[in-house]
């Protein structure tokens, strides 16, 4: 499934249940819509659309003179909503997708009924005093990445093993994600990355704590936070720090790591059904 928004294409996976309530899914950094495959199969009560963020999976890359700013992902999401004429839906966001979705819920509360936030608790922050250092690192990382030659994979097994070394993913779950982040030439069998190498550059600026709090206070819909028992400890800390900001929120800890939605899909699909129905 391909959607068209200004200047780019947004690829997606869907269960095709177009007569059911809409449920959007937004994945994490360097993942794609395939990370929600197991959940999609269990959510027949909804019209599920799991998107590939720009630069990820099968979606378009940003133009050569652009970069991947957090705020622009929020813009992309609303461009899609606007283009499709969607007016009421729920959102499931994982990791980076949870950050993007939390910001969207705050900015456009009139569109979002319910929000399930997996292994995320809103934007990460830095103090104003880090601005110079952060921006310098970002500019240098952009130049370095631009000059770097892309090393395309020799085989699927090697990139699965590489992803496992830097994540909590099983070989099966890593393969599920990585197959959608590559293209395979039909004749030669050569593998190439379809993801944009600029995704690995450093963010130019982070929000301050006050900015993040203002956004989180703006969320009107009920939120269900889902945390992996072996997930990112920083998410637990942020939820504890920000719980007073949310008008209607609860959290559940599920056995699993940062990609808990791929490990405990049955339990998390039930949480989504109960929260979003």
Residue 175 lies in a domain: no
Active site residues: 95
- Does pLDDT of 262 surpass 90? yes
Mean pLDDT across 118-145? 95
Mean pLDDT across 218-228? 97
Q: Judge whether 55 and 49 are in contact, CB under 8 Å.
A: no
Residue 185 lies in a domain: no
Residue 125 lies in a domain: yes
Residue 108 lies in a domain: yes
Q: Judge whether 91 and 197 are in contact, CB under 8 Å.
A: no
Mean pLDDT across 118-147? 95
pLDDT tens profile 15-25: 999 999 999 99
Q: Say what the pLDDT of residue 43 is.
A: 98
- Does pLDDT of 187 surpass 90? no
Q: Say what the pLDDT of residue 89 is.
A: 98
Cα→Cα distances 236→94, 122, 264, Å: 14, 11, 18
Write the DSSP symbol of residue 187.
T
Q: How many domains does the chain have?
A: 1
- Does pLDDT of 152 surpass 90? no
pLDDT tens profile 62-92: 999 999 999 999 999 999 999 999 999 999 9
Q: CA–CA separation, 222 vs 66, rounded Å?
A: 35
Query: Looking at residue 247, which CATH number applies to its domain?
Result: 3.40.50.1820
Residue 183 lies in a domain: no
Other Cβ atoms less than 10 A from the Cβ of 55: the count is 21
- Does pLDDT of 241 surpass 90? yes
Scan for tokens 């391909």, then name that residue: 2
Query: What is the domain range of residue 114?
Result: 2-129+206-276
Residue 160 lies in a domain: no
Backbone angles phi, psi at 258, to 5 degrees: -65, -30
């Amino acid at each position: 499934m391909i959607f068209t928004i200004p200047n780019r294409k947004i690829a997606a996976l869907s269960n095709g249940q177009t007569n059911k309530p809409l449920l959007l899914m937004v994945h994490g950094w360097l993942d794609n819509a395939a990370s929600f495959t197991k959940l999609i199969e269990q959510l027949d009560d909804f019209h599920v659309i799991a998107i590939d963020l720009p630069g990820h999976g099968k979606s378009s890359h940003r133009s050569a003179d652009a970069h991947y700013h957090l705020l622009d992902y929020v813009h992309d999401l609303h461009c899609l909503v606007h283009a499709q004429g969607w007016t009421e839906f729920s959102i499931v966001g994982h990791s980076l997708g949870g950050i993007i979705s939390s910001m969207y819920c705050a900015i456009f509360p009139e569109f979002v009924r319910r929000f399930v936030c997996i292994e995320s608790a809103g934007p990460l922050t830095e103090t104003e005093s880090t601005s110079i250092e952060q921006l310098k690192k970002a500019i240098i990382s952009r130049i370095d990445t631009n000059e770097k030659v892309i090393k395309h994979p020799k085989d699927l097994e090697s990139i699965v093993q590489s992803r496992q070394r830097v994540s909590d993913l099983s070989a099966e779950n890593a393969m599920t994600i990585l197959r959608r982040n590559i293209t395979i030439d039909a004749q030669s069998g050569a593998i190439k990355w379809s993801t944009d190498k600029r995704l690995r550059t450093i963010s130019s600026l982070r929000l301050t704590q006050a900015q993040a709090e203002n956004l989180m206070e703006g969320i009107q819909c009920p939120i269900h936070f889902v945390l992996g028992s072996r997930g990112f400890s920083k998410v637990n800390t942020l939820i504890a720090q920000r719980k007073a900001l949310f008008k209607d929120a609860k959290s559940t800890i599920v056995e699993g790591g940062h990609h808990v939605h791929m490990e405990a899909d049955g339990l998390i699909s039930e949480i989504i059904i109960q929260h979003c129905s």
